[in-house]
Chain A
Amino acid sequence: MDEINNNDTKSNSRRSFLKKFGIGVGIASVASVAGFSLAKGNNGNSYSGDMVKLLTPDGKLVEVPKEAIQAVKLDTDKMKEEARKGLSGKKFVMVIDLAKCKNARKCVDACQEGHMLPKDHEWIKLYLLQENSETSRYWFPRPCFHCDKPMCVSVCPVGATYKRHDGIVLVDNERCIGCKFCMTGCPYSARVFNWKDPEVKMPEGHVYDPELTIPPIEGTVGKCVFCADRARKNELPRCATACPMGVIYFGDLYEDTVTNGVETVRFKKLLADRGGYRYREDLGTLPSVFYLPPTQRMFPVERGIDNQTDEIKERYKKAGPR
């Protein structure tokens, strides 16, 4: 996405990244401490003079003496608050080009690695679909659709699932009571439940953050988060970068641009040119994920099965028209 953004939005998003982690608050206090110390320094107890440039939350570049910088603790409350609000002035969308998908499954691996998921949890799932016996089969990657009228959010009794300004739907696993109502509510089976302790080893001092959803917490639900942590840093989701075919485009509806990391295109034009659509528009959930129909494919569908392990092959045994 970097290449499509001008510097202004870049620094904007960096600022929101800092702000989110509560670092802004930390620096402000460092600066004030520094001011005090410098005054003292003038009275003879001076600093060595090594200065460091830092960015304040309101976007000003300041210099502070190196010695005055102390590590600040993450302001987790602030972090959570920001994770609830999302990025202002954005509306993230994804476009998935079904014509290019060959079930390479790199998106699944990258997602599982990035979010420390147990191997049997797939936030992005690959379906082998066929509309009817006359039409051909095609591969269908399904992340969470981050619906604009999300059933999962409506039915959640404690507000653990929520929709943000930027369109991303997240789950706060520290709030979720595990009633699974959202799982019956979501018509796209996008949610997975942590049926047992996921047993992931956490790095020391790791704090839970709904944008990353690490670690998965037993007895709560998880789902694709549109890599909200990366979006904040102006980076593409893990699945989009991992895909060798460039199937997954990600971007901002307001900017009308999406990119798969290789090419950047106009979102509306792409949909118009290629006949983009949303899965099951009739359900009225208004997904943020758009599909380009599987036309003129480069690889036969069988390739996606042949190169796979037995476990994967087993999944598609019964796939057919339905």
Chain B
Amino acid sequence: MQTDKNLLKDLTPEIEKTSTSWYIVFSVFFIIFAVGVYGLIQQITKGHIVTGMRDNVVWGVFIVNFIFFMGLSYAGAILSGALHLFHTAWRRPVIRLAELITVISLVIGPFFIFFCIGRLDRLYYLFIYPRIQSPITWDVIAIMTDLVGCFIYLYLSFIEDFAILRDYKELDVPNWKKKVYKTLSLGFTGTPAQKKIISSAKTIMATMIIAIAIIVYSVLSWIFGVTLQPGWHSTIFGPYFVISAVFSGTAIMIILMWIFRKIYNLEKYITLRHFKNLGVLLIVIAAFYGYFTFSDYLTKWYGSIKMDSLLIDKLFSDYSWLFIFANYVGILLPIVIIGLPRFRTIRNITISAVIALIALWINRYLIVVPTLETPFLPIQDSREAWNIYSPTWVEWSLTFAGISVFGMLFMLVSKIAPIISISEMQEIDEEELLK
């Protein structure tokens, strides 16, 4: 197989040698991660008392992070699946990014559930005493299915690249890496028959993971939806969660595109066009997401059901700033910035994406916490922490540890595999030649 050497060098900047900045950034991430580990040790030895969670707000930032990372993952799956199915040429440099987001967040997300569980040592009870009535059991099944599906999909897209790396004789990497490429490429040599198999397998998997992602994220939303709690007991939650997942997924893609483009000098491959296309997707989704948010809160606010009114009152008083940021600024600002052509620069689109992402995290927080602070029987407690939830350093340290693991995993992948799919990029050249 012939591969353009420059292309290969550009797309695998970290495979041959490691730059100093790689080490620096990695160490920073690692230190943040280590602090998180220390927090976790505190939590395990002293008990969950070191978190801000108490009897009323039994789920806090951990669950918010869980929903958030799972959302990123499912969105990555939906996006990469969709990008694969619609044979647009511009998708090629960014499709790998979506696939990596899917798998990496899927690995991180469940850890936040583990942090939230009081008896981690009994986690395997989920498998030896499962009860199918419980939405948690549904979720266990769903996440496992999704893990398998996404790994297969990611691997399929890697096979051709591994073959290219294997065949690239001058590649200056240690022998073990060459062996890894050899094994992982499964004897792929690029014959038409092989190409056809991989391509149709990818199409099947792309369709499947879109479906799985939608189902699985709805299942997650039902953990909240099936309860009787005000604000959670809502039929809209399934689609609402899926839409907001795609919203956050598009935002994180834009942000990562910006980062990768900067640090690995990929300006040639990731262009304004990509930012514009994903930006437009972001605002379309933002409109849908805003619509869902609006209809959910409007029906709660307009009626006079006592518990709903209490919740809305709380959102508009104690949480008013967060509410405004999450549900007005976070939706409208991206629409305005990206919607008006003259603001549509790479930097502005990225800024909108950052705002959208933070707003979405806060939106999740506003779904989880205020509801738990508004139980049917009023909270009558003299202990401050029992009345109002405020996360402690342990919860924040683990949150940031999660983000740094996200970064670290991306960096590790860049050491072994191309961050932009080489095989996809090659096909562009071929297509262009044909024109």
Contacts and interface: CB of A to CB of B under 8 A. Distances in A.
A154 B53 CA distance: 23
B130 A157 contact: yes
Interface stretch (B42-50, B90-98, B341-349): B42-50
Given A155-B134, A311-B382, A127 B377 contact: yes
Contacts of A312: 382
Nearest to B383: A120
A126 B415 CA distance: 61
Interface in A165-179: 175-179
B116 A319 contact: no
B152 interface: no
A193 B226 contact: no
Interface stretch (A79-87, A180-188, A256-264, A265-273): A180-188
Contacts of B135: 155, 181
B263 to A, nearest CB: 40
Contacts of B20: none
Contact of A189 (B55, B126, B134, B306): B55
A66 interface: no
Contacts of B396: none
A195 B123 contact: no
Contacts of B119: 176-178, 219-220
Contacts of B227: 151, 155, 184-185
Identify the interface centre among B118, B125, B131, B140: most chain A CB within 10 Å of its CB: B118
A156 interface: yes
Nearest to B138: A157
B129 interface: yes
Interface in B363-389: 372, 375-383
Contacts of A12: none
Given A127-B378, A197-B47, A183 B130 contact: no
A280 B381 CA distance: 21
B56 interface: yes
A188 B136 CA distance: 21
A283 interface: yes
A201 interface: no
A171 B128 CA distance: 18
Nearest to B371: A184
Given A179-B136, A189-B377, A155 B58 contact: no
B130 A315 contact: no
Interface string A208-221: 00000000001111
Interface string A108-132: 0000000000001000010111000
B414 interface: no
Interface in B298-331: 306, 310
Determine the main DSSP class of A at the interface with B: loop
B118 A175 contact: no
B129 A158 contact: yes
A315 B129 contact: no
Given A155-B135, A193-B55, A311-B382, A220 B118 contact: yes
B276 interface: no
Nearest to B386: A120
Contact of A283 (B47, B228, B379): B228
B129 A184 contact: no
Interface residues of B, number: 45
Given A177-B117, A179-B116, A184-B59, A128 B122 contact: no
Given A189-B56, A219-B118, A280 B130 contact: no
A129 to B, nearest CB: 8
Contacts of B59: 180, 184
Q: How large is the interface on A (under 10, 10 to 19, 20 to 34, 35 or more residues)?
A: 35 or more
B58 A142 contact: no
Contact of A179 (B117, B130, B229): B117
Nearest to B375: A189
Nearest to A178: B118
A195 B382 contact: no
Nearest to A197: B47
A180 B134 CA distance: 12
A282 to B, nearest CB: 10
Contact of B123 (A154, A176, A177): A177
B19 interface: no
B56 A157 contact: no
A196 interface: yes
B137 interface: yes
Contacts of A156: 131, 134
A178 B48 CA distance: 10
Nearest to B136: A157
A159 B137 CA distance: 11
B117 A178 contact: yes
A195 B378 contact: no
Interface in B123-151: 123, 125-126, 129-131, 133-137, 140
Interface in B54-105: 54-56, 58-59
B228 A187 contact: yes
Contacts of B306: 322
Contacts of A196: 46-49
Interface in A275-293: 280, 283, 285
Contacts of A299: none
B129 A159 contact: yes
B223 interface: yes
A311 B223 CA distance: 36
Contact of A183 (B58, B228, B382): B58
A189 to B, nearest CB: 5
A77 interface: no
A173 to B, nearest CB: 9
Contacts of A159: 129, 131
A192 interface: yes
A194 interface: yes
A322 B310 CA distance: 8
22 contacts: A120-B383, A125-B380, A142-B377, A157-B131, A178-B118, A178-B119, A179-B117, A179-B136, A180-B59, A183-B58, A184-B58, A184-B372, A187-B375, A191-B55, A192-B55, A193-B48, A194-B118, A218-B47, A220-B118, A283-B376, A311-B382, A322-B306
List the 7 shortest-distance A-B pairs measured between CB atoms, nearest first: A178-B118, A219-B118, A196-B47, A314-B382, A157-B136, A157-B134, A196-B49
Given A127-B380, A189-B376, A220-B119, 9 more contacts: A142-B377, A155-B136, A158-B131, A180-B118, A184-B372, A187-B228, A187-B229, A187-B375, A219-B119
